[in-house]
A and B are shown apart, each in its own frame.
Chain A
Amino acid sequence: MLRAIFLLLACQLAGEGIHRLSGIALPGAVIGMVLLLCWLALFPRERPGLGAVTAWLTAHLAVMFVPAAVGLVDEGAVLSRYGVSLVIATTLSTVLTLVVTALVFRWALRRVASESEAP
């Protein structure tokens, strides 16, 4: 368990380091995620501890961003001015993304299927 926590923290720390030293604009945690993926690929083995820790973190992700959302307390002016336009833009973008992603996925799936059937 502790080893899994250390692995996650070490990947994040390395990610933050790469982010700061190289000037890559990707957030440190996202670089850390790529590093962890590389680590798992380099040293493949059963990791029940890591599975348990990440499952717990993912299951409780929502409570972790409450403190950030409460930060809206200082953004009253922005919300009252742009609240409606934010709702419109977010709704349209979500529907459009859903449709485009699904259609492209289906189209590519059919192409792959028809290619593998061809002689």
Chain B
Amino acid sequence: MNEAALLATPLFWLTATIGLFEAFDTLSRRMNRHPLCHPVLWSTPVLIAMLLATGTTYETYKAATMPLSLLLGPAVVGLAVPVWRERERIRRLAAPIALALIAGAVTSMVSAVGVLALFGPPWTILASIAPRATTTPVAMAVAGQLGGIPALAAVIVLFAGVVGAMIATPVLNLLGLRDYRARGFAIGVAAHGMGAARAFQVDATAGALASLGMALNAVATAALLSLVAALV
């Protein structure tokens, strides 16, 4: 088998993706999970460079790595489990959770699209940033449905996660907010799973509320944007 044929097998790109991710994940663990060391942030450019160097089209790569992408759907469905587990807390904190969720979801969409619109980009770009506060697989699906670019949505969401995880503690301290429930929920709504990972490092309650915020905002933002899409 020649070299080009090996590159054309689905196995090559699947192995390269998981291998690179694992290598950068190990590095990220050594760096105490600093948000800037997130493995996706580093494995993506390396893989892009490999595609360009070998003259492989994205279509080939996408087909080869389909097994990984297929897991995203069940992972999103599975977000119901932590929500179910937190049902007692949801009942007790129903009003703060519902109000903060709606306020957060609307703020994130309006501010992201509003600020970006000042730069005059086309609709495809605006649609890609609108779901930026949701967890990546949901953002990709929603962006795709609104006519945006899923890959761009994925990277925007990732970047939002890095920003959220880095600024949450100083910003919330600046506000004088000490309640770990409010802190955790806010970071989950604003910065999805990466925010939740950061919250778990600080406090277990904050982490649980952050996971809840992420899961609920995935539904809230997707529902609000679907409504917008239906009305437009």
Residues of A within 8 A of B (CB): 5, 8-9, 11-12, 15, 24-30, 32-37, 40-41, 50-51, 53-54, 57-58, 60-75, 78, 81-82, 85-106, 108-109, 111-112
Chain B interface, DSSP helix/strand/loop, else mixed: helix
Closest approach, in angstroms, between the C-beta of A53 and any C-beta of chain B? 7
Which B residue sits closest to A24, measured CB to CB? Answer: B226
Q: Are A109 and B179 in contact (CB-based, < 8 A)? A: yes
Closest approach, in angstroms, between the C-beta of A58 and any C-beta of chain B? 6
Q: Are A72 and B151 in contact (CB-based, < 8 A)? A: yes
Cβ contacts B42-86/A at 8 Å (1 or 0 each): 011001100110000010011001101101111111111111100
Q: Are B44 and A66 in contact (CB-based, < 8 A)? A: yes
Q: Which of B74, B182, B229 gathers the greatest number of chain A CB atoms within 10 Å?
A: B74
Q: Is B186's beta carbon under 8 Å from chain A?
A: yes
Q: A73-B48, A89-B112 are in contact. List 18 more A-B contacts (CB 8 A).
A: A33-B77, A33-B80, A34-B219, A40-B80, A50-B81, A62-B39, A62-B40, A64-B69, A70-B17, A72-B44, A72-B48, A73-B51, A73-B58, A89-B111, A90-B159, A95-B171, A101-B100, A105-B185
Q: Is B26's beta carbon under 8 Å from chain A?
A: no
Residues of A within 8 A of B140 (CB): 65, 68
Cβ contacts B4-41/A at 8 Å (1 or 0 each): 00000000000001100100010000000000001110
Chain A interface, DSSP helix/strand/loop, else mixed: helix
Q: Are B71 and A100 in contact (CB-based, < 8 A)? A: no
Residues of B within 8 A of A104 (CB): 96, 99-100, 103-104
Residues of A within 8 A of B215 (CB): 33
Which B residue sits closest to A13, measured CB to CB? Answer: B73
Which B residue sits closest to A85, measured CB to CB? Answer: B119
Q: Are A75 and B152 in contact (CB-based, < 8 A)? A: yes
Known: A33-B80, A64-B137. A87 touches B151 (CB 8 A): no
Q: In the complex the two chains form, what is the Cα distance from A12 to B100 in whole Å?
A: 28
Query: Which of B44, B78, B129, B183 interacts with A69 by CB under 8 Å?
Result: B44
Q: Are B74 and A75 in contact (CB-based, < 8 A)? A: no
Q: What would be 24 A-B contacts, judged by CB atoms less than 8 Å apart?
A: A29-B73, A29-B74, A29-B137, A33-B219, A36-B77, A66-B17, A67-B61, A67-B69, A68-B151, A69-B158, A71-B58, A73-B48, A73-B52, A74-B151, A82-B119, A85-B118, A94-B190, A94-B191, A95-B163, A96-B108, A98-B172, A98-B189, A102-B177, A105-B97
